[in-house]
Structure 1
């Protein structure tokens, strides 16, 4: 992974973390130290994988899903999961059918070039 790609993943992660705080979430140290984001809000928990702009968006988005599946903990309905991607990767993230994402409690978030965060609805 090139240094530009690492910096963009940091940009995506930082923007998402700021958005979480604005939405009343408290970022916490991830249960899995390899996870990109973990936050709590009351009894809710969110665990997320972020990707930045890369040259192979499809593969990298698929890797994000695999990483997230490995981090799924228990069956608590209070835990949600998130794939967080830049605008250029949204189409790739949406290739996993909405019905599957819903069953697995995975939400999609887009981070725009100007750092705005949008939850993508199914």
Structure 2
């Protein structure tokens, strides 16, 4: 009986692990088009994509690049002030302390951007 319970526990454990990986893959797939939302400064669609994906921004931020840049830098480059400020508010302040995004903004001519101000305020 103990062997059967152990086997059943293992099967349930493997099934739940594969389900979570499948769900996460589906969530990442739902993020297609997020770069277009950032470039268009469409905060509501950006938020909707995140909500539909079931993923938190802080969990997927490091894995998303648009045009070779992270989301904040891409937002600054495209003058997407609403989306960029939203991203800054959703990310932990400790991230921006070590990311170099503020230094990048200062050296690339985006120091006056509201996004850079949001980063500096955090």
Q: TM-score, normalised by structure 2?
A: 0.31
Q: Which has the higher helix share?
A: 2
Please identify which structure carries the higher strand content. 1
TM norm structure 1:
0.31
Select the structure of larger CA radius of gyration: 2
